[in-house]
Amino acid sequence: MDGYRYIDGEYEVRQEIKRSVFIATVKGELDAAGAEEFVRTIRKRYPDATHNCYAYISDELGNATRFSDDGEPGGTAGQPILDALKKQNLRKSAIVVTRYFGGIKLGAGGLVGAYSGAAATALKVAKISEKQRCEKVAISCGYADLSAVDKLARGENCALDKVEYGDGIDMLVFVRSDKTEAFAEAVNEATAGRAVLTKTGVYEFKKL
């Protein structure tokens, strides 16, 4: 897996359907514990709501999922919310749709449309970002090559992690896993082979 999409921040939208108010709140960068805490936070924010239905995907691969209808008829709320996340191919993200019942029943089909619609609308408002699988690479170079190496280390396929200055410069850079070889060649060419590049074998997902 080279990367994943996620909700970058927290966003909220409100809709009214046949007097019922639906509030969809979305948030990303959540593991399972963070997603559960997010759900508890929304329940505390709207303690008098009729329902707080939710769904989340808490891992990078999309295998760790959970949803709840929170008292609505089975299959009318949690699953449609989860489907909205899956449709956008999102990971490590959660949606809670809060409902204040307005006195008019929507029926099963109406509920599915209301919950899925609220979730989809919130995702349209939300900023969607992507993280790439990156390998940490150590670079040692002289001051004469700093400018060239620094430019490459801050490129679109990299995330500069740390720089230490001494007799020479030591850098730690996260490089997209599928771009590591090309990056190594670029550093070697830019410094005429003077810079020493070492792969650490450490991988993380990074926003580049």
102 is written with which tokens? 């307005």
37 is written with which tokens? 């805490």
Domain ranges within the chain, ordered by starting residue: 3-126, 131-206
Instruction: Name residues whose C-beta falls within 8 Å of residue 90's C-beta, 6 or more positions apart in sequence.
Output: 4, 5, 6, 7, 28, 57, 123, 128
Q: Do domains 3-126 and 131-206 have the same CATH topology?
A: no
Strand order in the sheet with 20-28: 10-17, 20-28, 93-100, 51-57, 65-68
3-class secondary-structure state, position 157: coil
pLDDT at 156: 86
d(CA 13, CA 87): 19
pLDDT at 205: 94
d(CA 53, CA 32): 16
Helices (H), 2-106: 32-45, 78-87
Does domain 3-126 fall under CATH 3.30.230.30? My reply is yes
3-class secondary-structure state, position 69: coil
Does domain 131-206 fall under CATH 3.30.70.240? My reply is yes
What's the distance, Cα to Cα, between the start and end of the chain in Å? Answer: 16
pLDDT in tens, the chain (208 residues): 789 999 999 999 999 999 999 999 999 999 999 999 999 999 999 999 999 999 999 999 999 999 999 999 999 999 999 999 999 999 999 999 999 999 999 999 999 999 999 999 999 999 999 999 999 999 999 999 999 999 999 998 999 999 999 999 999 999 999 999 999 999 999 999 999 999 999 999 999 8
76 is written with which tokens? 């009318």
